[in-house]
Amino acid sequence: MTTDGHIRLLPLHVANKIAAGEVVERPASVLKELLENSIDAGATRIEVAVSAGGRKLVSVRDNGCGMTREDALLSLERQATSKIRDVDDIERITTLGFRGEAVPSIASVSRFTLVTRRAEEEEGTRLVVNAGTLAEVSACGTPPGTMVEVRDLFCNVPARRKFLRAYTTEEMHIKSVFTIHALAHPDIGLALALDGREIYRLAAGATVEERIRGLFGASFAESLVPVDATRSGVRVHGFVERPDMRLDTRHEQFVFTNGRPATSSSISYALREAYPRRDANCRPATVLFIELPPEQVDVNVHPAKREVRFRRPGDVREAIMAAIAGAFAPQEPAVPAPTAPERTGEPLSLQVPFQPTLPISGPDPNATPLRAPPPPSPVPDFPSAVHCADGKTPQAETPPGETPQPVTAAGPWRWFRFLAITESGYLLVETDAGIVTLNPIAARERIVYERLLDTRRVASQPLLIPETVQLGPMESARLKGFKDVLEAQGFSIEEFGRDVWKIDAVPQVTGGHSAADLLSTIAHDLAEAGGRRGGERWREELVARSVARAFAGAEARLTEEGAVRLVTELGACRTPYVCPRGRPVMIFTSLNELRRKFDR
């Protein structure tokens, strides 16, 4: 590396590799650029084939307008494009791609083949480029449209190639790109094949709802409600998750601006503020389309065009909030119009019911006394019993006023006496050292988490009737990579079709919870966690933490017996003080602190 400070012109092949690094991040980046070119070419049918997660092959074939021989050769030149003519066109972009760098950048770091033909031409053109060097230009027979094959990506840039992830991870990104473009253009028929196996075949001319069903299944589509509103020339339409569904595992947010999969801070703010909140971290599933004049949006903000900037962001925010508010606004009940009484020739008699009022000056001594209903008693009067730390209960209850005998055992307390369940669901427990306020949800998380990590204690429970669940593409791909960990922790699952999984058994500790909901939550958490190079223990902890989170809130309100059992099991945990996510399980108030606060 030279350090003399002189400025030089880079060789063309070096400049191409640098430019390729800005456009081609991974195989999914190649697919994105090729799909956008096919869509801009007016294709109504696009076929995608991928091998080895895109390392060996990314192929896109369309029935678009195609190119002449001269246009095909020009497409290999940098800054060559059919989508803009002068600088003013940048202010009103209506196509997905426009910079003219994708094809030469991809061709400079792969073995690239392009076959194309316009409908009015008698023959097509075939171009072959090896790592940026044009190797072949020939005439060929081919149907109208364009076919691009990208083989051996980063074949001449080994440093970039070694940073690619595992095949399943790259497939996950491939599916994500395909899904986004399939949602954005339901009018186009698309198909995706991975390693020779067809994953998707989506019909052309579909509605947005039909495309959602084709990609994510009927249950997900039925959890959405339509939204539609226009404000100040901005139209927002699509679908948003129903708040009452509580789809903890479905947090896909697809937002398209003039058909472009891109978002902005204005959009995120409007979604956060307008959606009826279930909790502070609510992130509802959405498929939203924002339509406005192209001159009102700048698509040239992000190098990969993932973000946009609006000239009047307030109009966009208002339109989004109006669309969502309109979908969830309470409906006024219909009030029936009063009907006139039927005339029978007899005089009408008006009956006014008399409502007696309570005396103001004082009670009537002859009246029946009014009795207010007794106040509800949500906290049951449980008997007081002392429980040892090892889970055993003494034979006799401790008489009032006597101190229970301590029992030496491991755990946060030597003995405990269960007191009550508060109306808000917390447990009150007396121990040898003070009073404990315990969160049962966090306690369940800790108990389930530690049991799943202790493979000696994991028992599998077969399902009487196997359950199936359809996942999103990224979730399904991620789940596939953790299948061995799930099976070691008591699950029995297998692929049952395109992104559909069948569940035959679950860990016994999660019995009673919906297996489909459980697996959906796990798959979502795994996809959200992203990739990380770590040991097997990290993978096990990730799955156990997800299972614990999904299962924690499933149990109904505790009984005294269930509460005592929960406290006993928590006391046997290695780390009973915090849940797997680091939140407190209990709040302890010592006897000394109680005496001090009561000035004793």
pLDDT digit string (tens) for 544-598?
Answer: 888 887 766 555 578 888 899 999 999 989 889 988 888 899 999 998 898 888 8
Strand partners, 139: 125
> Of 327, 356, 376, which residue sits at a domain end?
327
pLDDT, tens digit, for every residue of 491-542?
Answer: 999 988 778 899 999 888 877 778 888 888 888 888 777 655 555 677 888 8
pLDDT at residue 391 in the model: 53
Residue 352 lies in a domain: no
* Any domain includes 374: no
Q: What is the CATH number of the domain that holds 299?
A: 3.30.230.10
Judge whether 127 lies within some domain. yes
Q: How far is CA 570 from CA 94, 392, 451, in A?
A: 60, 14, 11
> Would you state the pLDDT for residue 384?
58
Give the pLDDT confidence score for residue 403 in this predicted structure: 44
CA distances from 513 to 130, 237, 250, 272, 588 (A): 55, 35, 18, 30, 31
Which of 89, 102, 90, 326 shows the shortest CA–CA distance to 226? 326
Looking at per-residue pLDDT, the higher value among 376 and 388 belongs to 388
Same-domain check for residues 126 and 262: no
The tokens for 52 are 């080895």
Q: Give the Cα separation of 154 and 163 in Å (integer).
A: 10
Answer positive or negative: Cα dihedral of 57, 63, 69, 73.
Answer: negative
Measured N-to-C along each axis, helices 515-529 and 536-552 cross at an angle, to the nearest 10 degrees, of: 130
Which of 445, 442, 428, 443 has the alpha carbon at shortest distance from 588?
Answer: 428
Spatial distance between the Cα atoms of 132 and 79, rounded to a whole number of angstroms: 15
Smallest CA-to-CA distance from 238 within 297, 286, 271 is with 286
Regarding whether 289 and 230 lie in a shared domain, the answer is yes
Angstrom CA distances, 490 to 456, 507, 529, stand at: 11, 4, 21
- 412/70: higher pLDDT: 70
Alpha-carbon distance of 393 to 404, in angstroms, equals: 12
pLDDT of residue 399: 43
Task: Report DSSP state, residue 486.
Answer: H
Closest to 558 in 3D by CA, of 391, 438, 461 = 438
Phi, psi at residue 9, to the nearest 5°?
A: -80, 130
Q: Which of 202, 289, 287 is nearest to 250 (CA)?
A: 287
Measure the CA–CA gap between 361 and 390, rounded to whole angstroms. 64
Do 172 and 65 fall within a single domain?
yes
The answer on pLDDT for 378 being more than 70 is no
Shared domain for 434 and 572, answered yes or no, is yes
Within a domain: residue 344? no
Last residue of a domain, one of 162, 177, 206: 206
pLDDT class for 543, splitting at 50, 70, 90? confident
For residue 114 the two structure tokens come to 């392009």
Highest mean pLDDT among 127-131, 303-307, 431-435: 127-131
| Residue 195 sits in the same domain as residue 304 | no
Provide mean pLDDT across the span 14-35.
77
Sign (positive/negative) of CA torsion 105, 111, 116, 122? positive
What was the pLDDT predicted at 172? 85
Closest listed residue to residue 215, CA positions, set 244, 246, 184: 184
Nearest to 240 by CA among 291, 282, 288: 288
Tens-digit pLDDT profile for residues 170-195: 988 999 899 999 999 999 999 999 99
- Cα dihedral 212, 218, 224, 225 sign: positive
Q: 64 and 186 share a domain? A: yes
User: b vs e for 377-405, b when ≥16 Cβ sit within 10 Å of the residue's Cβ?
Assistant: eeeeebeebbbbbeeeeeeeeeeeeeebe
Q: How far is CA 544 from CA 47, 356, 392, in A?
A: 39, 64, 28
Angle ∠(547,552,556) on CA atoms, nearest 5: 135
Residue 362 lies in a domain: no
Q: Are residues 132 and 42 in the same domain?
A: yes
How far is residue 407's CA from residue 384's CA, in Å, rounded to a whole number? 18
Output the average pLDDT for the chain. 79
Looking at per-residue confidence, does 240 or 383 come out higher?
240
* Contacts of the segment 387-393: beta carbons below 8 A, 24+ positions apart: 387/415, 387/416, 387/417, 387/418, 387/564, 387/567, 387/568, 388/414, 388/415, 389/413, 389/414, 389/415, 389/416, 389/571, 391/568, 391/569, 391/571, 391/572
Q: Which one has a higher pLDDT value, 127 or 3?
A: 127
> Domain ends where: 206, 241, 259?
206
Domain range spanning residue 545? 443-553
How do residues 195-247 score in pLDDT, each as one tens digit?
998 889 999 999 999 999 888 888 788 889 999 999 999 999 999 988 766 54
In tens, the pLDDT along 467-497 reads: 988 887 778 888 888 888 888 888 999 988 7
Left, alpha or beta for 205 (phi > 0: left; psi -120 to 50: alpha)? left
537 domain-assigned: yes
What is the C-alpha separation between 187 and 184, in angstroms, rounded? 9
- Full-model pTM: 0.67
Verify that 51 and 192 share a domain, yes or no.
yes
φ and ψ at 274, to 5 degrees? Answer: -85, -30
Give Cβ neighbours of residue 562 (< 8 Å, ≥ 6 apart). Answer: 555
| Interval 357-386 mean pLDDT | 44
Q: Is pLDDT above 80 for 97? A: no
Position 149, amino acid:
E
- For CA atoms 109, 112, 117, 123, the dihedral sign is positive
Asked whether residue 19 falls in the same domain as residue 121, the answer is yes
- For residue 157, what pLDDT is reported? 87
Q: In whole angstroms, what is the distance from residue 506 CA to residue 519 CA?
A: 9
Q: Which pLDDT score, from 0 to 100, does residue 364 have?
A: 44
Task: Identify the CATH number of the domain in which residue 163 sits.
Answer: 3.30.565.10
Q: Determine which of 240-249, 275-284, 387-396 has the lowest per-residue pLDDT on average.
A: 387-396
Mean pLDDT of 258-270: 84
Start-end of H helices in 185-287: 208-216, 218-222, 265-274
Same domain, residue pair 195 and 80: yes
- Count how many residues are written for the chain: 600
Number of domains observed in the structure of the chain? 4
In terms of domains, do 71 and 126 share one? yes
* C-alpha to C-alpha distances, 275 to 219, 240, 282, 283, 328, nearest whole angstrom: 21, 9, 9, 9, 9
Judge whether 6 lies within some domain.
no
| CATH code at position 426 | 3.30.1540.20
Main-chain dihedrals φ then ψ at residue 262, nearest 5 degrees: -155, 155
**How confident is residue 87, by pLDDT bands cut at 50, 70 and 90?**
very low
Do the beta carbons of residue 98 and residue 83 sit within 8 Å? yes
Co-location of 62 and 22 in the same domain: yes
CATH number, residue 467: 3.30.1370.100
Residue 228 falls inside a structural domain: yes
